[in-house]
Structure 1
Amino acid sequence: MANLTGEQSASLDEAGQLLKNGQLEAAERMLSGLAQTPGFAPTRLFLAKLCELLDRQGRDEEFLSRVNEFKQRFPRAHNPYMLAYLFFLRREDIPSAAQEIGSCPEQFISHIPTRAAVLYAEARLRIHQSHLSIDRSFRRPTPSDDAPLEPVDDLAICMMVRDEADVMMSNLLHHYQLGCRKFAVMDNLSRDGTASVVSRFARLHPDCTVLLVQDPIEGYYQAKKTQGLCRLARDCFGCAGDELRLIFPLDADEFVDLPPGVGFRWLVDRMIERESEVVVFHLCNAASSSLVHYDERQDVYGTIDVVEACSGQIVTKNTFNPRFVSGLTMGNHVLAHGDLSRDKIFVACEVGARIIHFKYRSPRHVASKILNGGQAVNATKLGQHYALHWRTAYADMQQRGFVVAEEMFESYCLATARSSGRLNIPPCRI
């Protein structure tokens, strides 16, 4: 922007606002007039606005020509690759979209959230291209022979939980069977005995180290709380001489699902082979297609009979080297860390791994989530747009009662069943 006069900068800003408002003809006149200004040389922002305009006008050949010009003029710029990625994605040309985002020079993106957005856009496309190779039901972890799956000393699972007593033992046992022996659980004001379930698991499995932390803060500050829990796990487990290679923040309704016959040791070995430090999983919603109401007396593997593929938005989750803890964002969907790079990321789907998300287990469970989510977010000073789904559902249940939870449970189960095995194009966004 340094070579633009004040008037030219104002014109470019105005063109951008016209584009934002959908006034394409006016934006074109503004950009054309700017280009004809004596001594004007196209800047990075000018080319970005021009390419966006051409794309939105459907002038495909001109768009591709200008994008190539953009790449040549500004070889370190990420903008033309992102524009081309979105162009091909909207046209359902996944290989071309993947090629563009995979060629983006991410090492030159100084803005950390933008770099993370680019890398996770690429990861989502890699997931989209490979996830159908996971053609199996959700089953109990079992070794390929009579020997138990090998324990892993350098991995810890961290969970922030609230009123998850129905599924807590199943979750801990599942990951124990995969080889995890270190758990850090932060219990946030549970009223259903969740903490007692965790303590019982610890007593029954003396070969595990289980940190149970009581969190008395009502507010919905998940990212900061989870960062704190991960640091606690890193420091506490490390003081015993077991330095962690991986920290895995999970929710109580999330189950790591690896290929049959292998456990966490296999996953860590795959990371070592690739010299990676972050594993990106995709989240697969799971449910009972017959609307079975799950509780702690039932077999979670027998209840889940449908698992969604990637029918809608591809949601990512991460396990990572502890040094990336400061980049942990809400929900553990993205790591916005200054040292994150393409060569450090390993996409789990490409070796047949995923996370099963048993999101809604019964109307009673849904009602509990609505109540807890609404109260927690209302206890913060965050904007009204924050966690809007919980605010909306909470207000609706306050007005209409338990029927809201029943409707949400049924809708979720039926939607998951309809989406099982379907494949849609990922959302057109970075």
Structure 2
Amino acid sequence: MTNFLNYFLHKFDPDNFTLVMTILVKNEADIIEANIRTHAALGVDAFVVMDNDSTDGTREILVKLQNEFEILLIDEKGQYNQAKWMKQLAHIAKNNLKADWVINNDADEFWLPANDMNLKENLAFKGSVLTVNRYNMILDEACHDGNFFASTHYVENPVFYTKTTQLHIEKISMVLTKIGPKTIVNPNGLIGIRGGNHKAWHLANTHEYLFKKYDQIKKFDAINVYHYPFRSYEQFEKNIKNRKLLLESKKHIRMGPHYRRWVKLYNEGKLEEEFHERLCFKNTEIEVLKKYGILTEDNTIQKAIKQ
């Protein structure tokens, strides 16, 4: 009942509202500062960041950034549970920071306006759940030295691989596959967040949730998310080591077949070859993918990020 009243009694002032971004982090030292600085420059008022036992200096970077930005830092040492923690962070944003809109973010995602307004200006209205498109950025030859922000190409039209057998997974470049959208939510009336923030259940969209009519939810085109899934071999290897630990800690853990394959390649000493052959792209390959409309070049993405 309280949640019901929160939504319908929530007063939204388009000239005076609070936009909060929540972020889950674990060993994101190479990207977290750029993430905070970029979104603060684009109108985010405050951040709620949950650190899941980072050991690479991520938490120390966040503590330093607290001197410049309003960052509520939460430590969580439990086993990674994205959907549960994202919902928890959204409610903390509402209760502690009086958020009117919440962007549930990951450290490797950058939410950029598709127009001349900033994020906050684009969100100056009351709503419930906004679904925004997300695109993978790719690593080209200019990025092989670790400067992944040098990338200027993203996957606008993903490759729809129809078979997921082990044989076909070995031929797939995961960076070219379709990825789910993300949501921006009004925490007043929020019931739940599904998976990696790809869908949200809100009092105002209960019908779509119950009848699974997410394809009928109109996309909010004023904002796009640009995703850096692969940033360097070191970051990729670190990710796969974490996946390996998860697989070894539980017998029935849910994990995609591509991650299981990458763990197997890591154990066989073949992970670096996989990274350079399937997850990085030569300039000649990029030109072919651009020719057929799979990749699009956009220099404004790189310029918008505060490196």
Pairing partner for 1:347 from 214, 219, 224 = 219
Pairing partner for 2:40 from 176, 196, 211 = 176
Provide the C-alpha distance between the structure 2 equivalents of 1:173 and 1:283, rounded to a whole number of angstroms.
20
Q: What corresponds to 1:224 in structure 2?
A: 84
- Aligned pair count reads 252
Query: Alpha-carbon deviation of 1:359?
Result: 1.1
Q: Aligned with 1:200: secondary structure? A: helix
Is contact 2:139-2:230 (8 Å) kept?
no
User: Residue type of the partner of 1:192?
Assistant: D
Query: Alpha-carbon deviation of 1:294?
Result: 6.1
Is contact 2:190-2:201 (8 Å) kept?
no
Query: Alpha-carbon deviation of 1:287?
Result: 2.3
Going from structure 1 to structure 2, the CA distance change for 1:285 and 1:356 (only over 3 Å counts) comes to same
List per-residue Cα deviations over 1:368-403 (Å, max 9, x = no partner).
11112332454456x355344333322321222xx4
Going from structure 1 to structure 2, the CA distance change for 1:329 and 1:195 (only over 3 Å counts) comes to same
Q: How does 1:223-302 map to 2 (within 5 A)?
A: 223-237=83-97, 243-269=98-124, 272=125, 276-290=127-141, 292-293=143-144, 300=149
CA RMSD in angstroms, aligned pairs only: 3.0
Q: How does 1:402-413 map to 2 (within 5 A)?
A: 403-413=270-280
Is contact 2:48-2:72 (8 Å) kept?
yes
Is contact 1:162-1:188 (8 Å) kept?
yes
Q: Report the TM-score when normalising by structure 2.
A: 0.72
Is contact 1:153-1:182 (8 Å) kept?
no
Q: What corresponds to 1:214 in structure 2?
A: 75
User: Residue type of the partner of 2:180?
Assistant: V
Query: Alpha-carbon deviation of 1:224?
Result: 1.2
Query: Alpha-carbon deviation of 1:407?
Result: 2.0
User: Residue type of the partner of 1:322?
Assistant: P
Q: How does 1:131-170 map to 2 (within 5 A)?
A: 153-170=17-34
Among the aligned pairs, what percent are the same residue? 22
Provide the C-alpha distance between the structure 1 equivalents of 2:41 and 2:151, rounded to a whole number of angstroms.
18
Q: What corresponds to 2:60 in structure 1?
A: 196
Q: Aligned with 1:331: secondary structure? A: coil
Q: How does 1:347-426 map to 2 (within 5 A)?
A: 347-349=219-221, 351=222, 353-376=223-246, 378-380=248-250, 383-400=252-269, 403-414=270-281, 417=286, 419-420=289-290, 422=293
Stretches of structure 1 that go unaligned for 5 or more consecutive residues are 1-150, 238-242, 425-430
Query: Alpha-carbon deviation of 1:339?
Result: 4.0
Is contact 1:220-1:379 (8 Å) kept?
no
Going from structure 1 to structure 2, the CA distance change for 1:299 and 1:232 (only over 3 Å counts) comes to same
Higher relative contact order (CA 8 A, sep 6+): 2
